[in-house]
Structure 1
Amino acid sequence: MSSIFNAFPMQGSEGTVMRILVVGAGGVGGYFGARLLQAGRDVTFLVRPSRAAVLARDGLTVHSPLGDFHHPAPPHVTGDALVPFDLILLSCKARDLGGAMEAMAPAVGPDSLILPLLNGLAHLDLLRERFGDSAVLGGLCMISADRNAEGEILHFNDIAHLVFGEPAGGYSERTRAVAATLGNAGFTLSHADNILQAMWEKWTFIATLAGLTCLMRGAVCDMLAGGAAPLMQQMQTECEAVAAQAGFPVRPAAHDRLASVLASPDSTLTASMLRDVERGLESEGEHLLGDLLKRRDRGASPDTSLLMVACTHLRTYEARRRRGDLPGVD
């Protein structure tokens, strides 16, 4: 994993104590927050009232190939009694970013650090505009997780990896403090010397997979069975071309990893965005695919590109969803 992101493993330290606010307790926030609680870290979840009621009644449960965990009473707040925290893990969906920033604002003090785990890059500008450049770190995670109807966290594979770093690059005392706080907590952790490069590579990975699985309405194995291999390769090429145009060409290890995923005939992997679409929820199509389209060189990528088709497909879905015309969705 670290070879893909040019990341450097960091170990935790008993001498560093940071108060952590996890914004959201869904698949990503619920998993990493639970593991931090399990490791004895000072963690509080910022959640909506409906989620707070579930946590108060049932606690927080994680089902994972890496080991199950249950916390009967995870610390949580709903936003009306926040004080500044040292580290804020932002794990919401892009569609919820505006509300999340408003809710967490009282928790952002002059020395607070915000570590966003959203895909793409558009959120960095929004966070910097609201809270200042110095407050925002770069970050990403590699995990396949979701929340079931009972509010339990389901971890679908054996990967749970978090990468972070200074957006300007290099190391700092504060990122070393973050590494000490998050290290040795039941998931792998890396400090990236060039976190923007890592984020671009994650973005191309997710945009390719999400665009394909939503467009084809199937997992990797289904697409390959349907003869979509050439289209899958085309989507990867188009997404990676945008990264190269932006000055962040995808490195061979990251390219080969995605190519291997897309060539696995037994893989039932899909993107979380497909699960959102199948549930009739707002997708992250604009955040992941639409923003890539905005950044591309139009002369090098025509409007009939597969990336454009996938994005238009999701825009059409959103238009139908807003009309309330999705079959089987209340």
Structure 2
Amino acid sequence: MATADEKNLDGGTEAAPLRIAVMGAGAVGCYFGGMLARAGHEVVLIGRPAHVQAIEADGLRLQTRGFDERVRVGASTHVGAVEGASLVLFCVKSTDTEAAAQAMRPHLGADTLLLSLQNGADNAERLRTLLPQPVRAAVVYVATEMAGPGHVLHHGRGELLVEPGRGGDDWAEAFRAAGVPVAISDDVRQALWVKLILNCAYNALSAISQQPYGLLVAGAGVTDVMHLIVRECVAVAAAEGVELPADIDASVLALAGSMPGQRSSTAQDLARGKSTEIDHLNGYVVRRGRQHAIATPVNQTLVTLVHLLESGRGAG
């Protein structure tokens, strides 16, 4: 029998709040976790001590174009906080995928659904080799950054494209009701590659120059370099059996117009002295290119330059 809290005014029954853990509560994890907590779901953010302390003291500051609020949400530095969650938003850096999965494994329920909300094209596959729970890839379309401890600044968008699979889709309607649009699609592999190519075109160049996208594309010769990056990526994608949209070059250039003030996650990492995900962006294209005997010199150059900047800034 439904409890009083589960009945709506029309006499129907409302779905119980979801229990959600966000593993890797950076900008992406805090945004989606904050939106879901704001809608009344039971959310715990698992992240770095500075963010956890700020959230425990004052709540998560969720600053968007439409509102600026303090959201009360659980926070922890301990991976064991995933225990009891029916859904895990897996948001760690691609470099930490295996380590985080192994750490979580003893604490996950048999039917816990994991959504990989990560950069890169192969994180869900890597998770499936380590975890028996249902794992599904999600393509994340959001511009957001951490403006300070416990403070997420949202610049725009915020939707998810999720592959079909085990675990059911009941959670998706709860996300939509919380202001997080979700689409379940068979085209996720293509979409992951499209996003990978966008990241390859922008992330390293934004990091090297420390410029937002709008200023970046205005630089002399930048769009020509982007075209070369994309051409290499498209060749590798074709060898991988991924059919890309014919207008991929136009999509790359359009990103700067839709997010002119956004600096790439790689740029943000370098500015904070953190290690980047470059090996899972341009570096992924380089590795897959080698497998297919496809030369990727522009992407290789960008990987090398970002690694040089990482070593010079003591990233760790």
Runs of 4+ in 1 over 6 A off after TM superposition: none
**Secondary structure at 2:141 match in 1:** strand
Could you say which residue in structure 1 is the equivalent of 2:6?
none
1:23/1:91 contact within 8 Å kept: yes
1:84 to partner: Cα distance: 3.4
Could you say which residue in structure 2 is the equivalent of 1:36?
36
1:90 to partner: Cα distance: 0.9
After superposition, the Cα gap between the structure-2 partners of 1:62 and 1:315, relative to the gap in structure 1 and judged at 3 Å, is: same
Letter in structure 2 aligned against 1:66: G
Task: Write the mapping of 1:6-155 to structure 2, written as runs, cut at 5 A.
Answer: 14-15=14-15, 18-71=18-71, 73-77=72-76, 78-80=78-80, 82-132=82-132, 135-155=134-154
After superposition, the Cα gap between the structure-2 partners of 1:109 and 1:52, relative to the gap in structure 1 and judged at 3 Å, is: same
Report the TM-score when normalising by structure 2: 0.84
**Secondary structure at 1:109 match in 2:** coil
Structure 2: unaligned runs, 5 residues or longer: 1-12
Aligned length: 302
1:210/1:274 contact within 8 Å kept: yes
Could you say which residue in structure 2 is the equivalent of 1:159?
157
In structure 1, distance between residues paired with 2:53 and 2:20 = 21
2:219 corresponds to 1:213: no
Letter in structure 1 aligned against 2:195: K
Structure 1: unaligned runs, 5 residues or longer: 1-12, 167-171
2:61/2:70 contact within 8 Å kept: yes
Indicate which of 216, 221, 233 corresponds to 1:239. Answer: 233
**Secondary structure at 1:110 match in 2:** coil
In structure 2, distance between residues paired with 1:74 and 1:103 = 22
Letter in structure 1 aligned against 2:143: S
**Secondary structure at 1:252 match in 2:** coil
Q: Percent identity?
A: 25
In structure 1, distance between residues paired with 2:82 and 2:40 = 21
1:85/1:107 contact within 8 Å kept: no
After superposition, the Cα gap between the structure-2 partners of 1:269 and 1:56, relative to the gap in structure 1 and judged at 3 Å, is: closer
Query: What is the RMSD computed on CA atoms of the aligned residues?
Result: 2.8
Report the TM-score when normalising by structure 1: 0.81
In structure 1, distance between residues paired with 2:82 and 2:280 = 28
